Structure 1
Amino acid sequence: MGRRSPARWWRCAVLLLALALAVADGRFVVEKNSLRVTSPAALRGVYECAIGNFGMPQYGGTMHGVVVYPKANTKGCKPFSDSGLSFNPKSGGLPVFLLVDRGDCYFTTKGWNAQTAGAAAVLVADDRAEPLITMDTPESAGKEHLENITVPSALVSKRFGDDLKAALENGDMVNVLLDWRESLPHPDERVEYEFWTNSNDECGAKCDMQMNFVRNFRGVAQVLEQRGYTQFAPHYITWYCPEAFVLSKQCTSQCINHGRYCAPDPEQDFTTGYDGKDVVVQNLIQICLFKVANESRKPWLWWDYVHDFAIRCPMKEKKYTRDCANGVIKSLGMDIDKINKCVGDPDADEDNPVLKAEQDAQIGHGSRGDVTILPTFVVNNRQYRGKLDKRAVLRAICSGFEETTEPDICLTQDIQTNQCLENNGGCWLDHNSNNFTACKDTFRGRVCECPIVNGVKFVGDGYTHCEASGVGRCQINNGGCWKETRNGKSVSACSNEVAKGCKCPPGFKGDGIHSCEDIDECKERLFCQCKGCSCENTWGSYECGCGGNNMLYMREHDTCISKVASSSVGWGFLWVVFFGLGFAGVGAYAVYKYRLRSYMDSEIRAIMAQYMPLENQDTSSHQRPVEHADI
């Protein structure tokens, strides 16, 4: 682009002033990671450094390397190849972290020159005593640098930079561990993240990078959202026009709702092409589409809309219109009426509740600072720093999961090395046919944790020992107990009735783990001690017999009885008992009837005696003489 006119500089100054006023109540937070010096001893310790807003920070991970400070081109503003320098590590050597000084060129230029010379990371030493800042990527830095820098970068303080250079000048080998494991919070098994973006597709290298990112990241984002691993929300930055300029051409072309919500002119020319207010309206449509999609429990449709709109309605083809947007909405089966109702009237002299909420969300709160850099991510309320790249952003999101709860996509080889593949991570391994392992790969590295297999929990230290426990443990490697089969009969020292441990079953002796030996009951004379009994040992049991065909062995009493005698005596005894019980019943009934009848007769006689004389009773003493009356 050519030199801007004074008028254009003034317009940009006005908009920058408005943006500064809009976020005056907030603050910018510099996101940091830790740098641990492991040698020399004089510098050993942990230091803070600021993550650069370019390159690919290894969120959730660490990098170990050795610091090198070049003797020439100390600011890294020229390609190191010009002086024949290379920082590629030798075979078996540690990666090189190139230390350069701040100043004279863009941070991205330093990072690019360090990367092309073979450095694994770039450390920039500040040239002034001040709080750490975020190294950003200006528009004029060049598309090549912006898209192709992959090495992580960090800004260190001037004092620490001077200490590093002094140690190197003294001939010390400076070993450093860059640590991003705690750069983003990871409190639970779901990650909440925001994508702060813009619908403008004519803002140069950053817009191109943003569209490429949406195209590449869309599938990953939708899978994470559909399976409930993440909760996603898009956001858009707008600012207001100062009241004194509301009626100016600059504000009327870049703002809606009478200067309340503004965006910069895509071409930075108010006379041609699309205006800033067109961008604001499209931003508003995309927010409202997400809200409607989220209400229908399909928030992932936002990614389809943004992707399709960028392809079907680009600015350069003059298709960046509301009609084109409606066509994309219809193709996705979305409710246009609901979306239009959410958008409201852009010409109304009143607040738009959706955009007002966006401006409030832009201001930092809690541990999160103001969002002023576009595009960017906020993961678990902490701002992402680095290149807008599928792999880098996925690393950041994956580092936001609580350890061991990461979805499988976070453990793929392109973003995470599986430490369990080498020597089983130093964890316990069942060398039987099932090959169960206590090594569990997480995004931050492996952990040794006894597994759960088919619902059966293994217990142990995870490093040298794990064993199945609880109900069903015998289904897994027989609970680690002894088991043997002979002649179709299987015997095991594992029992599901016991929570853990192995015990040889009855008829066997041993530790129950490595072996169980048959007990010779006959030799040890534990059974078959009766007279005339013979003993034969079997695997896990014994057989006792009695001499003669008419003898029967009773195991419970360890005795032999005659089959015939026991049968006749038994049946005779039963018949005697049967007839005895019969006669006893008849006798008891006769006695009962006789005694009952006698008792009833005596009672009846006693009662009747009170009212009339009985035939066998003398009545002469009770009768009065008959008196003869005179006639």
Structure 2
Amino acid sequence: MGGRSSPAGWRRRAPPPPPLLLLLVSVLALATVVEGRFVVEKNSLRVTSPAALRGVYECAIGNFGMPQYGGTMHGVVVYPKANTKACKPFADFGLSFNPKAGGLPVFLLVDRGDCYFTTKGWNAQTAGAAAVLVADDRAEPLITMDTPESSGKEHLENITVPSALVSKRFGDDLKTALENGDMVNVLLDWRESLPHPDERVEYEFWTNSNDECGAKCDMQMSFVRDFRGVAQVLEQRGYTQFAPHYITWYCPEAFVLSAQCRSQCINHGRYCAPDPEQDFTTGYDGKDVVVQNLIQICLFKVANESRKPWLWWDYVHDFAIRCPMKEKKYTTDCAHGVIKSLGMDIDKITQCVGDPDADEDNPVLKAEQDAQIGHGARGDVTILPTFVVNNRQYRGKLDKRAVLRAICSGFEETTEPDICLTQDIQTNQCLENNGGCWLDKNTNFTACKDTFRGRVCECPVVNGVKFVGDGYTHCEASGVGRCQINNGGCWKETRNGKSVSACSNEQAKGCKCPQGFKGDGVHGCEDVDECKERLFCQCKDCSCENTWGSYECGCGGSNMLYMREHDTCISELPSLNSFWDLAILWSRSHHISSFSLVIARQSRDFVGGMGVHVGYLLRPRFRGSWSIRRLQISATELHGFRDPRDHGSVHAAGEPGDVEPPTARGPRRHLKQQGVLSTYGSSSIRASLTASVAHRRGRVWSCNFEFRKDWPVS
């Protein structure tokens, strides 16, 4: 694949002339920033007091420590009486910034200059500060406080407090307020430092296969080892979309044929990397690093095409262990061994790598160089390593917990995976006072939903039933099945084996006391005393007795029956005239044109049934204003009666032919009597009575009455 295939390639070389060496290093460094656009990543700082400083200010996130991405931090600003640049331990001056019990965390304000930013951060942290604010010493746009390249790295991995650079003007204002004795309360806010548009986070890891670049390379390898499992779970479950990237530089055309460019670059100076040891006289060359970077990019492309992009993490982890530079195993042959152990297609990867000695562009590395250029809110990638989350560069320590926090802050609220809600990543605000949200203490259903950024009060969905409400003071089950969930939050009671509920699945939401009860349906329903309130059973012969949720109504006398629908008592064996009286009653009160009545009487050996059917047959000229309707109040299941709505006689088992069923217009056989029953106004009403008798362990009487109304209408 173009790199050295055995430790024999690792050799000592004659040093180049010193002027050329210095010139080449300078040229490669300049090539990284030509036409570059570096973006300073920022967070906001809100001053809540004193009133003169109240407002929101920008500050630049330091590239060390652990910014609280997605979160906030309250504190009080303190400016030290001595060691204002924090270049020495504060213990040497007898100063401590540990907060008192119940006090706010201390944000230590220090001055820029005289030592590394990381030194200031470390000294502030060891003195008890919760965050470091560095005041710029010159009037200029905000810059990124980066980590040192060589010396000053001894504290890099141990700094955990967040840091931020503030402008000189704002720093001076803070100092003035403190000198005047004001308490300066501030809120550091990282909630909008990274975009969080949807339920998937896209992130990039700009890295390097070089393992001999000092503390940064050691931190990078440790991060890969620690973060690998988390990254693979997020990728496999579709929560993230990950892509690794590698920085390369080009050699200026004037130096392409120089020995230095030939040793540090491939494809005739198009793609270069710095010498791993920063010493051209010993160890591996920069082009060896470029080749291994290219292998790792191609491995990711092949793995991604096979829908297993997470294999990249396994390869990089194993390659660092099996093929280190220190053991002179940083070779293509060693890389092939790792690829084979992962069961990947070496031929596809080799084809992707191409020929490093060809005088032509490599499409993979060309795409990497193009990707280094910033687009939109993301600036150029110039720092190694660099993490990019949702197209914004991460700032801070390359640490599993810190990076995971940044990724979690990139999810739209309420869509983050469970791994983002663990106690070591964030605090569950629902554990204290239920987050101020609605809670049903009977079922422990709650509207409080823990999120990475805090909590939201959102009515829950339980067993497919959605609760609706504001989430703060009220939530109630809605839709089909809501009554199965805590009875929809409605009242319910059981007495003597009878259960009554104010919840009905026919209603999408709400509680309503059923008939016979009154109340709000939520806190309770009480029985309505229909007898006492004179709501029913008020006829002349009625006697009322209240029951739970209803009433019982009886009629005086042994031959009287109570008709509940009409709240009246009638005789069990009515006369023919009473039928007409009943017809007049019903036609007036219910506006009906026909009715049927079945009255049953049963004794030890007798079952009697009598049906009455009264109907108006209108003259044809009334068709435009009258309709013939039929109302049946019948006991069709008595002894297997068929539906009498066809105007035929009601039969029991026996001889149905005893009576000829009437047709629509045909003649009827009348067995009993026919005549004028009564006169009402100017109308004449004619009736025919048909009776049939059938024997089946008793007797059934069936009576059909037909009334014709034929008075003129003006």
Query: CA shift at 1:166, angstroms?
Result: 1.8
Query: CA shift at 1:551, angstroms?
Result: 6.3
Query: CA shift at 1:500, angstroms?
Result: 2.1
Larger deviation: 156-165 or 376-385? Answer: 156-165
Which residue of the partner structure matches residue 7 of structure 2? 6
Kept in 2, the 8 Å contact 1:106–1:141? The answer is: no
Query: CA shift at 1:177, angstroms?
Result: 1.3
Query: CA shift at 1:271, angstroms?
Result: 3.4
Greater fraction strand: 2
- Give TM-score scaled by structure 1 length: 0.84
- In 2, Cα distance between the equivalents of 1:234 and 1:442? 28
Query: CA shift at 1:411, angstroms?
Result: 1.4
Kept in 2, the 8 Å contact 1:50–1:155? The answer is: yes
Query: CA shift at 1:372, angstroms?
Result: 0.6
C-alpha change, 1:367 and 1:451, in structure 2 (3 Å) is: same
Kept in 2, the 8 Å contact 1:53–1:137? The answer is: yes
- In 2, Cα distance between the equivalents of 1:250 and 1:204? 22
Q: How big is each residue's C-alpha offset from its partner over 1:425-475, in whole Å with a ceiling of 9 and x where there is no partner?
A: 122221223x12222222222222222222323222222222222333222
- In 1, Cα distance between the equivalents of 2:6 and 2:326? 24
Query: CA shift at 1:62, angstroms?
Result: 1.2
C-alpha change, 1:573 and 1:600, in structure 2 (3 Å) is: closer
- In 1, Cα distance between the equivalents of 2:101 and 2:28? 51
Q: How big is each residue's C-alpha offset from its partner over 1:329-384, in whole Å with a ceiling of 9 and x where there is no partner?
A: 12222121111111111111110000000000001111111101011101111111
- In 1, Cα distance between the equivalents of 2:169 and 2:487? 63
Query: CA shift at 1:273, angstroms?
Result: 2.2
- In 1, Cα distance between the equivalents of 2:41 and 2:423? 27
Kept in 1, the 8 Å contact 2:110–2:134? The answer is: yes
- In 2, Cα distance between the equivalents of 1:548 and 1:110? 105
Relative contact order, higher structure (CA 8 A, sep 6+): 1
Kept in 1, the 8 Å contact 2:678–2:685? The answer is: no
Query: CA shift at 1:602, angstroms?
Result: 44
- In 1, Cα distance between the equivalents of 2:95 and 2:695? 160
- In 2, Cα distance between the equivalents of 1:506 and 1:621? 42
Q: How big is each residue's C-alpha offset from its partner over 1:50-84, in whole Å with a ceiling of 9 and x where there is no partner?
A: 11111111111111111111121111111111111
C-alpha change, 1:130 and 1:7, in structure 2 (3 Å) is: farther
- In 2, Cα distance between the equivalents of 1:460 and 1:602? 62
Query: CA shift at 1:168, angstroms?
Result: 1.6
Larger deviation: 542-551 or 398-407? Answer: 542-551
Q: How big is each residue's C-alpha offset from its partner over 1:256-303, in whole Å with a ceiling of 9 and x where there is no partner?
A: 111111111112223332221111111111111111111111111111
Match of 2:319 among 302, 309, 325: 309
Kept in 2, the 8 Å contact 1:168–1:174? The answer is: yes
Larger deviation: 550-559 or 67-76? Answer: 550-559
Kept in 1, the 8 Å contact 2:6–2:333? The answer is: no
C-alpha change, 1:447 and 1:569, in structure 2 (3 Å) is: closer
Query: CA shift at 1:568, angstroms?
Result: 18
Larger deviation: 513-522 or 482-491? Answer: 513-522
Q: How big is each residue's C-alpha offset from its partner over 1:170-226, in whole Å with a ceiling of 9 and x where there is no partner?
A: 222221211111111112221111000011111111111111111111111111111
- In 1, Cα distance between the equivalents of 2:540 and 2:531? 14
- In 2, Cα distance between the equivalents of 1:599 and 1:526? 33
C-alpha change, 1:172 and 1:536, in structure 2 (3 Å) is: closer
Kept in 1, the 8 Å contact 2:6–2:329? The answer is: no
Query: CA shift at 1:550, angstroms?
Result: 7.2
Larger deviation: 536-545 or 457-466? Answer: 536-545
Larger deviation: 199-208 or 534-543? Answer: 534-543
C-alpha change, 1:494 and 1:566, in structure 2 (3 Å) is: farther
Query: CA shift at 1:423, angstroms?
Result: 1.1
Larger deviation: 36-45 or 542-551? Answer: 542-551
Query: CA shift at 1:563, angstroms?
Result: 6.7
3-state SS of paired residue (2:375): coil
C-alpha change, 1:120 and 1:604, in structure 2 (3 Å) is: closer
Kept in 2, the 8 Å contact 1:37–1:43? The answer is: yes
Larger deviation: 453-462 or 558-567? Answer: 558-567
3-state SS of paired residue (2:234): helix
3-state SS of paired residue (1:53): coil
Query: CA shift at 1:521, angstroms?
Result: 3.3
Kept in 1, the 8 Å contact 2:76–2:183? The answer is: yes
Kept in 2, the 8 Å contact 1:25–1:363? The answer is: no
Query: CA shift at 1:519, angstroms?
Result: 2.4
Gaps of 5+ in 2: 11-22, 587-676, 698-711
Kept in 2, the 8 Å contact 1:60–1:396? The answer is: yes
Kept in 2, the 8 Å contact 1:36–1:45? The answer is: yes
Greater fraction helix: 1
Kept in 1, the 8 Å contact 2:5–2:331? The answer is: no
3-state SS of paired residue (1:605): strand
- In 2, Cα distance between the equivalents of 1:602 and 1:282? 112
3-state SS of paired residue (1:26): coil
1:200 aligns with 2:210: yes
3-state SS of paired residue (2:228): helix
- In 2, Cα distance between the equivalents of 1:8 and 1:141? 30
Kept in 2, the 8 Å contact 1:427–1:464? The answer is: yes
Kept in 2, the 8 Å contact 1:192–1:380? The answer is: yes
- In 1, Cα distance between the equivalents of 2:38 and 2:276? 25
C-alpha change, 1:304 and 1:546, in structure 2 (3 Å) is: same
3-state SS of paired residue (2:243): strand
Q: How big is each residue's C-alpha offset from its partner over 1:241-262, in whole Å with a ceiling of 9 and x where there is no partner?
A: 1112222221111111111111
3-state SS of paired residue (2:34): coil
Gaps of 5+ in 1: 576-595, 609-618
Q: What is the correspondence of 1:299-338 to structure 2 with a 5 Å cutoff?
A: 299-338=309-348
Kept in 2, the 8 Å contact 1:507–1:518? The answer is: yes
C-alpha change, 1:598 and 1:45, in structure 2 (3 Å) is: closer
- In 2, Cα distance between the equivalents of 1:34 and 1:15? 41
Query: CA shift at 1:569, angstroms?
Result: 14
C-alpha change, 1:46 and 1:604, in structure 2 (3 Å) is: closer
C-alpha change, 1:15 and 1:402, in structure 2 (3 Å) is: farther
C-alpha change, 1:555 and 1:601, in structure 2 (3 Å) is: closer
3-state SS of paired residue (2:113): coil
- In 2, Cα distance between the equivalents of 1:145 and 1:389? 14
Q: How big is each residue's C-alpha offset from its partner over 1:589-619, in whole Å with a ceiling of 9 and x where there is no partner?
A: xxxxxxx9999999999999xxxxxxxxxx9
Q: What is the correspondence of 1:130-529 to structure 2 with a 5 Å cutoff?
A: 130-433=140-443, 435-529=444-538
C-alpha change, 1:268 and 1:533, in structure 2 (3 Å) is: same
Query: CA shift at 1:520, angstroms?
Result: 3.0
Larger deviation: 146-155 or 493-502? Answer: 493-502
Q: How big is each residue's C-alpha offset from its partner over 1:386-412, in whole Å with a ceiling of 9 and x where there is no partner?
A: 100111111111111122222221111
Kept in 2, the 8 Å contact 1:18–1:240? The answer is: no
User: How many residue pairs get matched?
Assistant: 591
Which residue of the partner structure matches residue 557 of structure 1? 566
Which residue of the partner structure matches residue 581 of structure 1? none
- In 2, Cα distance between the equivalents of 1:354 and 1:209? 27
C-alpha change, 1:604 and 1:210, in structure 2 (3 Å) is: closer
C-alpha change, 1:16 and 1:47, in structure 2 (3 Å) is: farther
Larger deviation: 191-200 or 171-180? Answer: 171-180
C-alpha change, 1:209 and 1:6, in structure 2 (3 Å) is: closer
- In 2, Cα distance between the equivalents of 1:527 and 1:604? 33
Larger deviation: 45-54 or 265-274? Answer: 265-274
3-state SS of paired residue (2:535): coil
